[in-house]
Amino acid sequence: MLNGELSLNYNHLLAHAIGTEQGLPEDALDSLSEAFAQVHPALWEKTGKGSDFLGFLDLPQTISSQLDQIQAVADDLAAQSDIHVVLGIGGSYLGAKALIQALCHPYHNELSRSKRKHRPRIYFEGNSLDTDSLNALRSLLPEGAPTELSEHWSLNVISKSGGTIETAVAFRFLRHWLEASYGAEAAQRIVATTDVAKGQLKALANKEGYRTFVIPDNVGGRYSVLTPVGLLPAAVAGINIHEVVRGAQDMAELCKNPNPSQNPAYAYAGLQYLSAAAGRDVSVMNIWDKSLESIGFWYDQLCAESLGKEGRGRVPLTGVCTRDLHARGQQLQQGERNALVTNLFVTQPQAELVLPSDATDSDALNYLGAMPVQQMLSSAFEGTNFAYLQDQRPTLDLVLGQRSAYHVGALLYLLEVATVAEGYLMQINPLDQPGVEAYKQFMFGLLGRSDMARYKDLFEARQPDKDAAIL
């Protein structure tokens, strides 16, 4: 599908494999041809619902002109600090974390600076209101002026408006701590990724002289991984962002094909849509490479916030295999038949590991011989899929030939296009999130924000809870 290195296999979702009661008909994708004839122009001609936020479609091309600038700032931040803190919530951090976890050493922060190729340790905050987490981060930072490179630190705050409370609160703390360490020089260590012209963060950045990057007006947060939102933290960590974008560029060309049988994003969208319509409204992404777990979490938000509205939308969940086969695996194998499993599998590890011999065989593993661990994982993957097949439980396989910047960039772009296409099949707006505002209104009201006073009034006028507590 992509240089033979990224493929979508949906054989075990079809009736010939799992029976007509559980499987989709053989012509499942063909049956959506007419629907995709409407989806395709809505997407690529930007005439569909939420079209003002379809700018992410063009990012593989338009972001190219910014990559050298992003890289230069990232290199400067890496040279001046050994701790880099990224503040953001939702799409303002999940994409960056997905890239860094997928493409950096799994124990990046524990490596020496030389083994990190002189890139800083990366920490994420501003994604909750957790006192203990923020205090724990504070304990890693110097109390006064740093004296060694290992103590020097820098900060990237990501917020389009600057008013997102979780990020804004964390930024006030971190900004004050940074100023306590560096005084007037603190501004040189802060980068703000925000709106081009308006908002509280942009105003503060202008006043203090922070370096800034722009979140485009036509790109929503959860679709922003290929903007400086995701690419700047990735570049600070040492990831080849040019390769990430190149993978997205090649995938974009595949996604412009109007035929769902030849377009991987349309195929994925169509199969998920048909499966949900058939009653499988729980969507589990089983990750078969621990480094890709945050891609699962990134996709959870992308799917849930885009498709969960108007009383509909499948429920996305992420699991890591084989770890979660010892937990959720029981339910998927024998629970309610309401789930579709998508396996995300990487065929080639970055380094091979072979089981050593043991003359005593005290652990009874000699039956494995000198077997590579990857072969064991492949057997677990194939065995699990066959167990589901035997019980007529559907699966999809998204297979990467390798875990590289190029292939991860292609995968992220595929899933973004697929999500919007699925929303258009559902005839909803996959680019807004009105439900997210509900909790904010009541939270801000309770916190005393004057423009949200009526929500506090509504809360205080609520019916009192019945005394049903146990403890």
In the structure, what pLDDT confidence band is assigned to residue 458 with cuts at 50, 70 and 90? confident
Distance CA 290, CA 267 (A): 26
Identify the pLDDT of residue 450. Answer: 87
Computed on alpha carbons and rounded to an integer, the radius of gyration of the chain in Å comes to 24
Q: What is the number of alpha carbons within 13 Å of residue 250 lying toward its C-beta?
A: 18
Check residue 471 and give its pLDDT.
66
Q: What is the pLDDT of residues 55-99, one digit of tens each?
A: 999 999 999 999 999 999 999 999 999 999 999 999 999 999 999
How many Cβ atoms sit within 10 Å of the Cβ of residue 95? 31
Is the pLDDT assigned to residue 464 strictly greater than 80? Answer: no
Confidence class for position 447, pLDDT limits 50, 70, 90: confident
Per CATH, 6-29+260-425 and 58-243 having the same topology is answered: yes
Q: Greater confidence, 439 or 286?
A: 286
Per-residue pLDDT, averaged over 272-287, amounts to 97
Percent of the chain with pLDDT over 90: 90
Is the pLDDT score of 296 beyond 80? yes
Percent above pLDDT 70 for the chain: 98
Q: What is the pLDDT of residue 4?
A: 62
Q: Residue 206: is its pLDDT beyond 90?
A: yes
Q: What does the pLDDT read at residue 109?
A: 98
> What span, in angstroms and rounded, lies between the C-alpha atoms of 285 and 461?
42
Instruction: Calculate mean pLDDT across residues 337-363.
Output: 96
**Tens digits of per-residue pLDDT, 379-433?**
999 999 999 999 999 999 999 999 999 999 999 999 999 999 999 999 999 999 9
Q: What would the pLDDT profile of 223-276 be if each residue is shown by its tens digit?
A: 999 999 999 999 999 999 999 999 999 999 999 999 999 999 999 999 999 999
Q: pTM here?
A: 0.96
Q: Which residues contact 245 (CB under 8 A, 6 or more apart)?
A: 60, 63, 64, 67, 226, 231, 409
Superfamily name and number for 6-29+260-425: Glucose-6-phosphate isomerase like protein; domain 1 (3.40.50.10490)
Distance CA 33, CA 37 (A): 6
Averaged pLDDT score across all residues of the chain: 95
Statement: residue 3 has pLDDT above 80 = no
Mean pLDDT value across residues 14-37:
95
pLDDT at 467: 66
Residue 468 is predicted with a pLDDT of 62
d(CA 223, CA 401): 25
Q: Domain boundaries in the chain?
A: 6-29+260-425, 58-243
- Separation between Cα atoms, residue 24 and residue 22, nearest integer Å: 7
- Residue 195 reports pLDDT greater than 80: yes
Catalytic residues: 305, 326, 440
Query: What's the length of the chain?
Result: 471
CATH, domain 58-243, list 3.40.50.10490, 3.90.320.10, 3.40.630.30, 3.10.450.50 = 3.40.50.10490
Say if residue 437's pLDDT is above 90. no
- What would the mean pLDDT of 2-30 be, rounded to a whole number? 92
Between 458 and 114, name the one with better pLDDT. Answer: 114
